[in-house]
Amino acid sequence: MAAVQLTRRSLEMKPRLWVGAAVALGVISGSIAGAATYRASPSPSAWAWGLYVGFLAASFIAVVWYAVVTHGMANTVAEQTRISRQVFESTHRPSIEIIVPPGVTAFYENQNNYTFPFQLYNRGEVPAILVSWQGIVRQNGIPVLQGPLNDNGYTIFPTREPQFNFANVHGPQAPTPAGVEIEIVVRYHAPSAPDRIYMTRMNALPPPPHWRYRFPEIT
């Protein structure tokens, strides 16, 4: 904040210095032009003409300087506005964390028999409105299943932990094949900014005897 105030003071002081410099330059250039004009053609009007040319030059310099400084001030204000918005957004936005409760049953046998329960916890200060959540299954890095987009419009209030389940159960629990990885992708936004979409992703890998969870991205 101190740096911003210093910048503003600098911008407020510079116009006075530049105006003074422009006037001085006009007087100096006018004097030089008047002397040269008088020497080339001695007459009472020579000095007046020289001063007139000098003040024209000073006016041109002042106009150019004003345009440059105004453009710089506009850029400074725009940058300050952008930073202020980012600070406000970082403290007034939803932030979803994907949680897998301990002891839950999770497995993937094939596309017709799997279940992966989880919770979404909102650590932010404002409600999160879901755009969607989706489950994706890969085996040895190759996608083998992409679930549908679910629960558009569902609202998760701060500190709440609603439960969800990426599942299609058509049989008993079965061992999960080697190389299987389940990814949960959640997209959401704040009520006041529906065009600002945030995303949280979680990956789960099942080495025996328990699944391992990674949280590679919260944006």
CATH number of the domain at 204, please.
2.60.40
Query: Last residue of a domain, which of 49, 69, 91?
Result: 91
> Which residue, among 155, 25, 4, 18, has the nearest Cα to 87 in the 3D structure?
4
Q: Confidence band (pLDDT; 50, 70, 90) for 131?
A: very high
Per-residue confidence (pLDDT) for residue 213, from 0 to 100: 72
- Strands 113-122 and 128-139, bridge-based pairing: unpaired
Same domain, 85 and 136: no
109 and 213 in a single domain? The answer is: yes
- Cα 43 from chain centre: 67
Q: What is the pLDDT of residues 176-208, one digit of tens each?
A: 888 899 999 999 999 999 999 999 999 888 765
Q: Look at strands 113-122 and 142-146 and give their pairing.
A: unpaired
The number of domains in the chain is 2
Same domain, 125 and 43: no
Looking at residue 150, its pLDDT comes to 94
104 and 196 part of one domain? yes
For residues 53 and 36, give the distance between their C-alpha atoms in angstroms, rounded to a whole number.
12
- Domain boundary (91, 124, 140) is at 91
87 and 142 co-located in one domain: no
Domain that holds residue 81: 2-91
Encode 53-81: b = buried (16+ Cβ within 10 Å), e = exposed. bbbebbeebbeebeeeeeeeeeeeeeeee
Task: Identify the band that residue 11 occupies on the pLDDT scale cut at 50, 70 and 90.
Answer: very low
Same domain, yes or no: 79 and 101: no
Q: Distance (Å, rounded) from C-alpha 58 to C-alpha 27?
A: 8
Domain shared by 150 and 197, yes or no? yes
**Same structural domain, 205 and 105:** yes
The pairing of beta strand 180-190 with beta strand 128-139: antiparallel
- Whether residues 117 and 144 share a domain: the answer is yes
pTM of the model: 0.60
Burial of 217 (0-12, 13-18, 19+ CB in 10 A): exposed
In a shared domain, residues 85 and 8: yes
45 and 71 in a common domain: yes
Q: Which of residues 75, 91, 107 is at a domain's end?
A: 91
Q: Are residues 51 and 138 in the same domain?
A: no
Res. 81: pLDDT tops 70: no
